[in-house]
Structure 1
Amino acid sequence: MTRVRVRAPGKINLFLGVGSIDGDGYHALSTVFQAVSLYEDVIATPSDDFTLSVSGVDDPSTVPLDDRNLALRAAKVLAAATGHDGGVHLEIRKSVPVAGGMGGGSADAAAALVACNELWRTGLSHDRLHELGARLGADVPFALAGGTAVGTGRGDVLTPALARGRYEWVLITDDEGLSTPAVYRAFDVVRAESGARLADDPLDPFEVPPSFFEALLTGDPEQFAPCLRNQLEAGSFRLRPSLEDTIEAGVAAGALAGIVSGSGPTIALLCADARAADRIAERMRARDCTVRRAYGPVRGAHIVESDA
C-alpha cells in the first residue's frame, strides 16, 4: 500500500459547561459536540522517517511541522503502540480554521490515526484508536466518532446523542486565532470576578438540561436555537469583545442564534434552513466578515481513498 487519504470533520460545541479544575490543571467539562462539513484531509504515504507538509492555510507558520503538530504526534503514538518500525509522510490539506475553536488540529490527529492504521495494516480497533486519540487531546476522540455526542471529563468521554435533522450553519472566521489556554485563563478571571465558585462539583452529562436533548431530538432548528450555550465564551469575549458584536450582527441578519465555537474565535450562526443560511452568509460578507457555510451532523474520520 502506498497511499491512504482520510477525511475528518471540524466541530461545533452546541453546549459547553465548564466545571472545576482537576489535579492536572484541566477544567471538568460537560459538552455536546456536532461534527460539521468543514473537513481536514490527511494523505499518508510510506517514509523512512516521520515528515509533514501542509496546504490550505494563508500563513504556513501558523501550523507547526514538528512534534508540536498533533497529526505527527498521532502517527508516532500509533507506531509506538503497535511496534511499527517505519515512518510516514503526512500531507495535510486544511479547511478547518487554524486556532478557531473548531478542532482542526484534533481532526488532523484523528485522520492520521486512521490513515496510518490502514497504511501500516496494524489492524487496531476503533476503540483502541479512541484510547490513543484521548492521549493526544480531548477533541480527538470526537473527530474519530463524528455525529453528535456528549463529552464529559475533559470532553474525551463520549456518549452518542440522539439527534434528528440537518442543521445549517454560517461560520464567521477570524484570521487571528485565540489561544485555548488563554481563553480558559480569561474565563477563570471572569468567573472569579462574578463571585462564582471555581471549585464546584465536576460536571457530568446530566448538567446538560433535558430540554436541550428534547429540542435536539425534534430536528427543528427554531426549537433548538434557544438551547445553544457556551459558558467558555465569556473568556473569549473578554479577550476579543468584538465577538459579541458579530453574534448580534448575525442575529440581526436573520440567524436564529449565535455562539462562539469552543474557545473561539469562530462564530457559529444557526439558521432556519439552507436558503436562509445562504442569505445570511451574503449579508455577513457585505459586512466584510470572512464567511464559510457548513451543515451537521456529519460522520467522523473515514477513509476516502486507499490503494489497498
Structure 2
Amino acid sequence: MESAGTARNGSFEALSEPLWQPEPRRVKVRAPGKINAFFQVGPLRSDGYHAVASTYLAVSRYEEVAATARSGTLPTDITVSVSSASSLTPEQLASIPLDGSNLVVKAALLVADIAEKPCGLHLEITKHVPIAGGMGGGSADAAATLVACDALWHTGLSREELAQLGSELGADVPFALMGGAAVGLGIGDELTAALAPTPLHWVLVPAEFGLSTPVVYGTLDTLREAGGIQADEPVQVEAGVLAALRAGDAQALAPWLHNDLQTAAENLAPSLTAVLAQGTALGALAAIVSGSGPTLAFLAADTAHAQDLAAALGDRGHRAWPVEGPVHGAHIIL
C-alpha cells in the first residue's frame, strides 16, 4: 500500500503548518465531514466492537467551530451555541445538545487539562454536515474544537498530540484532524494516509432523519445471523480502491464502492433504496450509503457532471450537495 505518512492508534505524523496564532481571543476552525468509499465490517467481537477495513475521504462539506475566550475558569465557565448560519433544518439543529454531552465540550476540556491558563470559553458551532448522517459531523466539531482551543490557550500541541487527544473521543476525530484520504483498520482508529492527489467529485443527498450508528451495526449483526452469514475479520482495503484513488480515476473507483452497513441502513430506512436507484438512473457512476447512513453519496465523473446530477436530484425533490474530496483536515480560518 502506498501512503504518505502513517498513523497507528490515533497517532499521526506532525504536520508542518502552525496550529496557533499570537494572542488570539477568538479562533474559528473549519473541519470536513467524511464519506466512506469502502467499508467492510467484521463480526461482533467480545468487547462489543467490530473490526473494520475502511477508506475514508474528507469532503468539502464543512463544520465550523468558533472558540471565544470569556471570563471565568473551566470546567464551569463554558457555553455552547449553534449559529444561525447553519444550513440544517431547525428541527435538526434543535436536537443538538448544548451541555457537557456535546463532543465540543469534551474536546475543550481535554485541551484545558494540558493548558497552563485555560480561561472561560464560548463555543459556537456552525452545522453543515448532517446530524447522525454517517459523515462524522460530530467528530469534525470535536476536531475543530481541539485546534481552536490549542490556538486560544497557546498550548502548542502538534497534530500528533491533538490526534492522540481526539482518539479519546472517537475513532473519526483523528481523521477529521488529518483530512485527505486514509485507510482505517482496527475499529477505525488505526489510520494510514492514502495517496489521492486528484480530487474526485460526488453528490451528497442527506435525509430528513438520522440513524443511530450502534443500531445500524446491531441490525447488521441481526441480518447476518438470520441469513446464516459468517463474516470474516477484515484485514485490508481492496487494492482496486487505493489504485483508483491514487490515479484520481472515478470510472475505475465506481465498481469498487462498497459498504457492509448499507444493507442494514436500507433495512432500517427502506426509502433510501429508491433514492439510490434514482441517482444511478440519473447518471451517477455509482451510489453508496456513507458510513452508517442515512446520507447517500453518488460518484460523478467531474465537476460539471456533479452539478448536473445535483440539479437533477433537486428537481425530484431531494436536497443535493455537490462536493469534492479529498480535502484538508481541520484548519484555522479566522
The answer, yes or no, to whether TM exceeds 0.5 is yes
Match of 2:81 among 53, 62, 69: 53
User: 1:302: how far off?
Assistant: 0.5
Query: Whole-Å Cα distance in 2 between the matches of residues 299 and 279 of structure 1?
Result: 25
1:18 and 1:263 mapped to 2: Cα distance? 11
1:21 counterpart = 2:44: yes
Q: Does residue 72 of structure 1 match 2:117? A: no
Q: Which residue of 1 aligns with 2:227?
A: 194
Match of 1:233 among 258, 262, 268: 262
Aligned partner letter, 2:292: S
User: Which residue pairs with 1:276 in the alignment?
Assistant: 305
Distance in 1, matches of 2:253 and 2:309, equals 18
| Separation in structure 1 between the aligned mates of residue 45 and residue 82 of structure 2, nearest angstrom | 35
Tell me if the contact between 1:215 and 1:223 (Cα under 8 Å) persists in the aligned partners.
yes
Per-residue deviation at 1:242? Answer: 1.5
State the match for 1:244 in structure 2.
Answer: 273
1:31-65 residue CA offsets vs partner (Å, 9 max, x unmatched): 11000000011110113211101121322322111
- Cross-structure match for 1:90: 123
Provide TM-score, normalisation by structure 2. 0.87
Q: Look up the equivalent residue of 2:261 and give its one-letter code.
A: L
Letter of the 2:282 counterpart: A
Residue matched to 2:169: 136
Contact kept in structure 1, 2:115 and 2:153, CA below 8 Å: no
For 1:74, what is the secondary structure of its paired residue?
A: helix
Gaps of 5+ in 2: 1-23
Q: Secondary structure at the match of 1:63?
A: coil
Q: Considering only aligned residues, what root-mean-square deviation do their CA atoms show, in Å?
A: 1.3
Q: Distance in 1 between matches of 2:133 and 2:180?
A: 20
Structure 2 Cα separation of the partners of residues 258 and 267 of structure 1: 7
Asked if 1:11 corresponds to 2:44, the answer is: no
The more displaced of 18-27 and 42-51 is: 18-27
SS of the residue corresponding to residue 34 of structure 1 reads strand
1:136 aligns to what SS in structure 2? coil
Per the TM alignment, residue 82 of structure 1 is displaced from its structure 2 partner at its CA by 3.8
Q: Determine if the alignment matches structure 1 residue 34 to structure 2 residue 57.
A: yes
Q: Is the 8 A contact 1:42 1:111 kept in 2?
A: yes
SS in 2 for 1:290: coil
Contact 1:7–1:304 (CA under 8 A) maintained in structure 2: yes
Residues 1:101 and 2:134 are matched in the alignment: yes
1:111 alignment partner in structure 2: 144
- Select the structure that is richer in helix: 1
Identity %: 50
TM-aligned CA deviation for residue 84 of structure 1: 4.6
* Contact 1:6/1:114 (<8 A) preserved: yes
Name the counterpart of 2:329: 300
- 1:167-246 equivalences under 5 Å are 167-197=200-230, 200-201=232-233, 203-204=234-235, 206=236, 208-246=237-275
Give TM-score scaled by structure 1 length.
0.94
Structure 1: state its 5+ residue gaps.
Answer: none
Letter in 2 for 1:182: V
Task: Please say if residues 140 and 156 of structure 1, whose CA atoms lie closer than 8 Å, have aligned partners that are also in contact.
Answer: no
